[in-house]
Chain A
Amino acid sequence: MKTYRRTSSSSLTIFVFSVSLCLCGSILRAAPVGELQVKPAALTLSHPRQPHSLLVTGQSADGLSLDLTGQATYHCSNENMAKVDVLGWVKPIATGSADITVSAGGKSAIVKVTVKLPAKEPPYSFRHEVMPVLSKGGCNQGACHGYSLGKNGFKLSLRGADPADDYQWLTDEFFERRINRHNPPASLLLAKPLGDVPHEGGIRFSRDGLLHQSLLGWIRGGAQSDLDNPVKLVSLTIAPQKVVLAPGMQHPLQLLARYSDGNIRDVTRLGIYTVNTERVAGVDDVGLVTARELGETAVSARFERIFATANFIVLKPNPNFKPAPIPEDNLIDKFVLRKLNDLRIRPSELADDATFLRRLHVDLIGVQPTADEVLAFVNDKAADKRAKLVDALFRRPEFVDQWSLKWGDLLQNSRKHVSAPAVFALREWLRSAVASNMPLDEFARRLLTSRGGVADDPASAYFAVSKDADDSLQRATQVFCGVRMLCARCHPHPFENWTQADYYGLHSLFNQVAVKADPRLPNIPKARSILINKAAGYSLNPRSKQLQKPRFLGGQDLDLVNVDRREAYAKWLTSPENPFFARSLTNRMWSYFFHRGIIDPVDDIRTTNPPVNPELLDALTKDFIAHKFDVRHLMRTIVTSRTYQRGSIANETNAADDMNFSRMIPRRLPAETLLDSLVQATGVPERFGGAPAGFTAKQLPDSEIQSDFLNLFGKPQRVEACECERDDGSNMLQALHFINGTTIVSRVNAANGRLAQLLKQKGTDDQLIEQIYLWSICRQPNEKEQQVSRKLFQTYGTTKRTDAAQDLMWALLNSKDFLLVN
């Protein structure tokens, strides 16, 4: 059987392909089940230089995606109209129509081809043919001529952001030295990337390849400009969008560009491909994806300034897998299980009561349960006790502590930025918002339209934190849209279609904010009052040198005159139709209960970072909006799902899965939760110098209170509006601190601490052991643990019972059962 692969300039790809053939020959030779899929099913060709590929796929018996493009044979009914090569590329010859018969695996399909060629071959388009070549060749990337100062005297706009400038630089600069109109093949623009003359960037084009031919043709045609060409790229689609492979398998991509005149162009060979998780898969420069290890990754393609992504899942064939039944009564479990079934993953069992209790306490109120709470919950026979626990925890004062802490971190409420009265006022405002369950749309609206000093409006401290309008827009988009706009301040965003026009459009929405010293807090450093200058003009786009009209994220230019433009922004942002707000906040809230967001990182949402389960995110978002942005409803929905309640012990199908929520991934307790839980377990409070007396770690107003413990365990400093500021990682210093530091030892040994109180109670060793377990790791010891502990007490003897108890508690507090939430 003949097999063919798509032409690749990379010999490495051929090598990898050869290897993969050996590895997965059995899969590739497997006959597809069901229909042969050919994309597109019908084809219209209208440009003599724009051939179109056929993507031939099928599905194996065990559900894997099969690429049959290379195996297929192609036959055109009229080769005077169109020709098709062995790789499935259809090239137009003359106006007319033909049928192409595609055969593979004993099956066949017919693709109808219509050719409508113009009477005369159109000239090369600078915008649509030359600019993509400069991007594909890497000429305009940041490391080359797209660098802000260019390279070696030659500058291009970064990633083709400004075709007009590029045309000018290519054709006019240095007396047109880069273009040889008399002898086009000798043009410096060709000689450099072909390696005919020294080029620091090396050889970028293959001679007579597509890139070379495109540039040469354009120069031969007089290097014409078509910058005024109204036809624009509208969208980019990638096929297939969801692929399931086994390790070693390969799959090609097909990239189609749709233009404003309706033309659809196959730009597969001009796309620029990247893969998010290279451990899982690799992609070559013509869009051929090679599966590597088990897992899941997105493969992104960029053409001109638009991105498209495909989802690749790599899993082991499991013909014996039995899909789990899909529950229809819980939107989370429904979509999670659908995805797990696709992945041939069986979810872990539900966690036991004690584990669930501790997890929910840690996640909802930021402190583990007490011994009494554990026993009461475990012994409670009510069927709905888990659901009732959620509402009980909502009423706990620590719930306010926990969630106002998270918002305080995100909103950067810190004396680094604003006055002490402002920090406490915003803190109180956040606490009140949490305590009254303020809907998140109102929450955002009130923050984003706040003005005055903190005595006028405590939420105004949000803007007082910002250094300038740049800071305000970046913070607002990152927190409330999950989008990072910093890159677009200086150049087009490298991973998203945000331009400087988008950036300065947002800038114009925030540039009316002015700041004055708060007259009601005279002589207090950093006391600020927020003013709105409705007469402020629009912001200057440094690239276009024009004033940029306000523009919502992904929207059109707006005229907003003599109004507080933030109000328009807040209205747009919190609209149920907004594509970012509810979705990003739903995703962010989700991440607080799992080890990651459905999109992760939660504040880097972009086309090239797609959700691992888009249906789940869409459904949760829709539900969140339907419930009027009620965050407690969202939390309740999440924590009452079976997905949240699953245990962390893996089975044979989900051990490698860490992103589809098939089990709970153990996480280290956040710094404040760790310390507050330690205090509760040992009964010895922490005293923070400079903080109000009696404050717990979660209640601290900001990170200006010095605490070696909290710093070591990653408490954020509130200098960025990014979840990444919190470090939940583990390191050797933390371990040494727990093992050797006084944080645990002094508490365990404290004369008035928990252990001392337990020792005073009259009871057996077994009872004492159980209490130590309950207070330390919130569960009763199992039989083996009980035996080991009992032996420890016996070894120490009655005279050293205190030492035994202290050692046991110390050991438990150093165990993963305490450090992690399972």
Chain B
Amino acid sequence: MQEDLTTEAQRHREDERQIREDNYLHSDSLCVSAPLWLGLLAFLGVLTVHSSVSAAPPTIRNLDRLGLQTGGSTVLTIDGDNLLPEPKLVLSVPIVKQVVQPKGTANRVVIEVTLDKAAIPGLYNLRVANANGVSAGRIVAVDHLPQRVWEPKVAALPVSLHGTLNGSNKLTTSFMGKAGQVIQCEIEAQRLGGKLRPVLHLLDEHGRQIDWSLPNSSLDGDARITATLPADGLYTIEVHDAQYAAGAPGNFRLKIGTWQYVDAVFPPAIKRGQTTTVELLGNTAGQRVQVQSSGDAAVMPISWANPVVASGLRPRVLVSDLTEMVEKDGTALQEIAAVPVAVSGRIAKAGESDRFRLKVQPGAKLRFEVFADRLGSPMDAVLKLQRDNGTQLAQSDDSPGSPDPLLDYTVPADVQSFVVSVEDVHGRGGANFIYRVVVRPVNGETSAKDFRLFVPSAEMNVPMGGSRIVEVDVERAGYTGPIHLAFAGLSAGIQVQGVDVPAGANGAMLTLTGTGAAPATALTALRGTSSDPKEKITRSARERTHPLQKLQPWLAEELTFALIPKEKTSFSAQWGTLPADTKLVAGSSIKVPLTFTPPKEAHGGVRFYLMSSHRPPRINGQPNTNQMLRKDQGAFLEVAAGKTQGEFIVLLPATLPNVPQDLAFRADLLSKDRARVIAQAFTPVRRFPVLNPLAVQLAATQLVVPLDPKTGADVKLAGKIERRGGFKGDVTVSLTGAPPGIAVPTAIVKADKTDFQLTLKFPAAFKMLALNKLEIFATGKYAANSPLLNRSEAVAVHVKLTEKKN
């Protein structure tokens, strides 16, 4: 067994090496053809500094098969746009051969693809590249099954049938079965990025239903039947949408026959840097594989037990930096390590409740997070905290948008350990009812620190001699420091500028410049690394809308570059003159001079749009416009034909965080009738510091005041207001952190004044003698019509009340 595991691990490492080697595909005959690619660039979020009319990169509209057979040939028909000339598939599995069939058009090409038989089964991004760039990806499956377009009767099993369902349509197919034969029928639709919510029915030759399946949350909304056929005869499979309203794309594939699948692994998480044996949960009958965690990824794919007969989602495991424990089945009450810690377990039988004793610090604030549904477990987990004597302290069932519990809990003063129990809220159980509980402190040094990076598109087509801008969003979770960005495996012909995300910033803009002389295509990844050596965090940027970003996150992290030929026509835009020390004053506005060089044939003027790295808070999923950088009126600045410069007034929200912001402008060159954009250009990215125009200066930040037992005490907090960056108006000064029962004072400092005094009145019976939470702040409007108040940084003041003796 050990030998098997070692072999599997070696095979896995070899697979990984092969993938890395095959990630770099080169095109050898690029040329410029079609002129309309500007709209696509906007869609991709990819920008150029020098840009104009250019051939558009290819797009994929439809694939007749969402699967490729390993060790065999699959004839793939691709419908799309701009597919010629010389299209090639870009895929991170070894392609032995791909032959473009003759008579292809810009809208349809047929490619016969032969994959290496050693290609690892799973789902992959498939892209089409040609001389004009690389297309957006589509998800395709790779396995040993023959891949066929939908047919009403299947000649031989196993098979993978590819079809499309829209609206209320139904599709049926039939196959001959034998009595006692075990048949798997499985739809992959949602997992392939489709909108079909599949329902499967298996009928015998009399039309009587043998089995059926609704969309299954453990299959990410897809459906599977495993049935033993009752008799020899013709069997029919019917497929339709769960609400008879399948959206587009309704592509799916139906697998019929037998194969090996893995829905989850146990334990679902392993410790980073360690080699761990995990059990594959599926129809693999308890098979185990050894996993060596490597790299920085939080989730990694692992090997199949038998890749030759495997199909479906690649098995995956979480890679953790925590102490990882595994439930010992059958143990009534298991001791677990001190927080932070994670425990993986399984509710093997109906009605089972797994219980763990956890030692805690009284008063500690802890977060208990259960992962079950997110692991593909059918569990609807419920988590309970109990005292050792069984008294329940807290319970959590669901968290927003998820059946997985999430509980923040402050340990009572008299509790030094408690029992954590996990069970299915419906009392169910089974081999795949797995879960993982993570316990962490809510705040403090040991809190989890993390961040995530997102790019709007995974495809970047950079012209030779031109540039593109990649917008990077940063979602921070505890980590606030700078982040260094770097592409892995970037082609030598592309240079990158702006690789640092400032501390506290939630966005940045990278500029990619095509310096190479030969067209090329490459798969890559954008990695961000924290600057704190104590808290080394590395995360890969992913496409936010990738359909498999949760199930197979490495696919969402797979980016593609294409170095494309230089543009024919030049149109450029530049910043005008701004003082070198220009700062963005929160709550104010800034006039930005812009210049541009239109081509001679331009007659329609130019529109400028603002781009920035600032990501405002969202309301109902949409950016809060009051808190975003924006133009003073409308969305753009339009400069009439014949002119070569303009002035863009940028409104700066009062809540603009005090971190450097990247700004750039997109310039659209309009046609004469101003109905079309005929070229686009972009200014370079500039980074500006942010200035808060209000500041508070206290006369003293430490006060000691006697508390009279008869009359109490008046604590006077005096100071000055500093107005910066042209702020002129009235300012209100107040404070936070006043103890309960004490009135909060405010003071208005007129525009021509700077001094203020706040008086806190404490009664004689006041008991709290040390006030360490007081913070003074000032608010005011930079402009009278501003929708938001500027607010200064808070200044802490410590007040100590002493008992006055008469």
Residue among A455, A517, A522 making CB contact with B215, cutoff 8 Å: A455
- Which chain B residues border A395 with CB–CB below 8 Å? 206-208
CA distance in complex: A428, B199 (Å): 9
The segment out of A430-438, A439-447, A496-504, A738-746 that lies at the interface is A430-438
Task: Annotate B208-250 by CB proximity to A: 1 below 8 A, 0 otherwise.
Answer: 1110101111000000000000000000000000111100000
B208 and A428 form a contact (CB under 8 A)? no
Which one of A456, A519, A695 has the highest number of Cβ atoms from chain B below 10 Å of its Cβ?
Answer: A519
C-alpha gap A442/B746 in the complex (Å): 71
A452 to B379, CA, bound (A): 10
Other than A435-B201, A519-B380, give 12 A-B pairs with Cβ distance below 8 A: A425-B214, A428-B242, A435-B203, A435-B208, A435-B212, A437-B208, A454-B214, A456-B428, A531-B426, A532-B426, A692-B167, A692-B245
Decide if A816 is an interface residue (CB 8 Å cutoff). Answer: no
The residue in chain A whose Cβ has the minimal distance to the Cβ of B212 is: A432
- Which B residues touch A424, using CB under 8 A? 242-244
Q: How far does the Cβ of B374 sit from chain A's closest Cβ, in whole Å?
A: 11
B426 touches A452 (CB 8 A): yes
Evaluate contact between A456 and B426: CB separation under 8 angstroms: yes
The residue in chain A whose Cβ has the minimal distance to the Cβ of B244 is A692
Q: Is the CB of A695 within 8 A of B201?
A: no
Contacts A395-B208, A531-B426 known; A455 to B242 CB distance under 8 Å?
no
CA distance A522 to B244 in the complex (A): 20
Q: 28 A-B Cβ contacts within 8 A?
A: A395-B207, A397-B207, A421-B242, A421-B243, A424-B244, A425-B242, A428-B199, A432-B209, A435-B209, A435-B212, A436-B208, A436-B210, A453-B380, A455-B214, A455-B215, A456-B380, A456-B426, A516-B398, A519-B373, A519-B398, A520-B217, A522-B400, A522-B401, A692-B167, A692-B244, A693-B167, A693-B168, A695-B244
CB distance A532 to B244 under 8 Å?
A: no
Query: In the complex, what residue of chain B is closest to A518 when comparing beta carbons?
Result: B403
A522 to B399, CA, bound (A): 10
Q: Is A344 an interface residue (CB 8 A)?
A: no
B402 within 8 A of A: yes
Nearest chain A residue, comparing its CB with the CB of B427: A532
A455–B216 contact, CB under 8 A?
Answer: yes
Query: CA–CA, A455 to B199, complex, Å?
Result: 12
Residues facing B in A423-481 (CB within 8 A) are 424-425, 428, 432, 435-437, 451-456, 458
Contacts of B399 in A (CB 8 A): 519
Instruction: Name which residue of chain A comes closest to B168, CB basis.
Output: A692
Q: Does B475 contact A (CB under 8 A)?
A: no
The answer to whether the Cβ of A529 comes within 8 Å of any Cβ in the partner chain is yes
Contacts of A396 in B (CB 8 A): 207
Shortest C-beta distance, B387 to chain A (Å), equals 18
In the complex formed, the residue of B with least CB distance to A391 is: B206
Asked if B378 CB lies within 8 Å of chain A CBs, one says yes
Across the interface, A451 reaches (CB within 8 A) one of B207, B210, B244, B426, namely B426
Is the Cβ of A455 less than 8 Å from the Cβ of B212? no
The docked-state distance in angstroms from the alpha carbon of A435 to that of B238 is 13
B397 at the interface (CB under 8 A from A): yes
Q: Give the distance in Å from the alpha carbon of A694 to the alpha carbon of B207 in the complex.
A: 21
CA distance A455 to B376 in the complex (A): 13
Interface size class of A (residues with CB under 8 A): 20 to 34
Say whether A529 contacts B400, CB under 8 Å. no
Q: Which A residues touch B215, using CB under 8 A?
A: 455
The answer to whether B214 and A458 touch across the interface, beta carbons within 8 angstroms, is: yes
Q: In the A-B complex, list the 7 residue pairs whose CB atoms are closest, starting with the nearest.
A: A692-B168, A692-B244, A435-B209, A519-B403, A519-B398, A522-B401, A436-B209
CB of B425 closer than 8 Å to a CB of A: yes
A777: min CB distance to chain B, Å:
28
A428 x B168 contact (CB < 8 A): no
With A and B bound together, what is the CA distance between A453 and B199 in angstroms?
17
Interface string of A330-343 (1 = CB under 8 A from B): 00000000000000
Measured between C-beta atoms, what is the minimum distance from B475 to chain A in Å? 20
Residue A420 at the B interface, CB < 8 A?
yes
Bound form: Cα–Cα A517–B217 in Å:
16
In the assembled complex, the Cα of A164 lies from the Cα of B735 at a distance in Å of 68
Contacts of A519 in B (CB 8 A): 373, 380, 397-399, 401-403
- Alpha-carbon gap, A453 to B708, bound state (A): 64
Distance in angstroms between the alpha carbons of A513 and B197 in the assembled complex:
29
Shortest Cβ gap from A459 to chain B (Å): 11
Q: Mark B166-185, 1 if CB is under 8 A from A, else 0.
A: 01110000000000000000
User: Which residue of chain A lies nearest to B245 when distances are taken between CB atoms in the complex?
Assistant: A692
C-alpha gap A564/B350 in the complex (Å): 13
Which A residues are in CB contact (< 8 Å) with B203? 435
User: Considering only CB atoms, which chain B residue lies closest to A517 in the complex?
Assistant: B398
Task: Give 1 or 0 for each of B379-407: 1 = CB within 8 Å of chain A CB.
Answer: 01000000000000000011111110000
A455 to B426, CA, bound (A): 13
Report the minimum CB–CB distance from B218 to chain A (whole Å).
9
Which residues on the B side are within 8 Å of A694 (C-beta)?
A: 168-169
Bound complex: CA of A410 vs CA of B681, how far in Å?
Answer: 65
Question: In the bound complex, what is the Cα–Cα distance between A519 and B207 (angstroms)?
Answer: 36
Instruction: Encode contact with B along A371-414: 1 for CB under 8 Å, 0 otherwise.
Output: 00000000000000000000000011100000000000000000
- CB-CB nearest in chain A for B217: A455
**Chain A positions 692 through 716: 1 when the CB is less than 8 Å from some CB of chain B, otherwise 0:** 1111000000000000000000000
Distance between A423 CB and nearest chain B CB, rounded to angstroms:
9
CA distance A421 to B217 in the complex (A): 13
- A residues in contact with B199, CB < 8 Å: 428
Q: Which residue on A lies nearest to B215, using beta carbons?
A: A455
B269 CB to nearest A CB, Å: 22
When chains A and B are docked, how far (Å) is the Cα of A519 from the Cα of B380?
A: 9
Residues in A neighbouring B428, C-beta threshold 8 A: 456
CB distance B403 to A520 under 8 Å?
Answer: yes
Contacts of B426 in A (CB 8 A): 451-452, 456, 531-532
Interfacial residues of chain B within 145-203, with CB under 8 A of chain A in the complex: 167-169, 199, 201, 203
A458–B216 Cα distance when bound, in Å, is 11
Closest residue of B by beta carbon distance from A420:
B243
Which A-chain residue is minimally distant from B207 (CB atoms)? A395
Cβ contacts B435-453/A at 8 Å (1 or 0 each) = 0000000000000000000
Report Cα–Cα, A349/B219, bound state, in Å: 58
> Which residues of A are found within 8 Å of B244, using beta-carbon distances?
424, 692, 695
Chain A residues near B397: list those with CB within 8 A.
516, 519
A517 to B399, CA, bound (A): 11
**Given that A516-B398, A519-B402 are known contacts, is A428 also in contact with B214, CB under 8 Å in the complex?**
yes
Q: Which of B725-739 contact A (CB under 8 A)?
A: none
Residue of B nearest to A529 (CB): B380
A contact residues around B209 at 8 Å (CB): 432, 435-436
Instruction: Tell me, in angstroms, the Cα distance from A491 to B418 when the chains sit together.
Output: 49
Q: Which residues from A are CB-within-8-Å of B207?
A: 395-397
* Inter-chain contacts of A531 with B (CB < 8 A): 425-426
Residues of B within 8 A of A455 (CB): 214-217
Distance of B607 from chain A, by nearest CB (Å): 37
A437 to B209, CA, bound (A): 9
A234 → chain B closest CB, angstroms: 42
- The chain A residue with its CB closest to the CB of B210 is A436
Residues of B within 8 A of A695 (CB): 168, 244
CA distance A804 to B244 in the complex (A): 41
**Most central of B199, B242, B378 by chain A CB within 10 Å:** B242
CA distance A693 to B246 in the complex (A): 11
How many Å from the CB of B208 to the closest CB on chain A?
Answer: 7
Nearest chain A CB to B686 CB, angstrom units: 40
Residue of B nearest to A452 (CB): B426
Nearest to B398 among chain A residues (CB) is: A519
Taken together as a complex, chains A and B put the C-alpha atoms of A539 and B41 apart, in Å, by 66
Chain A residues with Cβ below 8 Å from B210 are 436
With a cutoff of 8 Å between Cβ atoms, the chain B residues found around residue A692 in the complex are 167-168, 243-245
Inter-chain CA distance A389–B214, complex, in Å, is: 32
User: For residue B401, which residues in chain A have a CB less than 8 angstroms away from its CB?
Assistant: 519, 522-523
Q: With A and B bound together, what is the CA distance between A420 and B243 in angstroms? A: 8
Determine which residue in B201, B214, B397 has the highest number of CB atoms from chain A within 10 A of its CB, and name it. B214
Chain A residue contacts of B373, Cβ below 8 A: 519-520
A694 to B427 Cα, complex, angstroms: 41
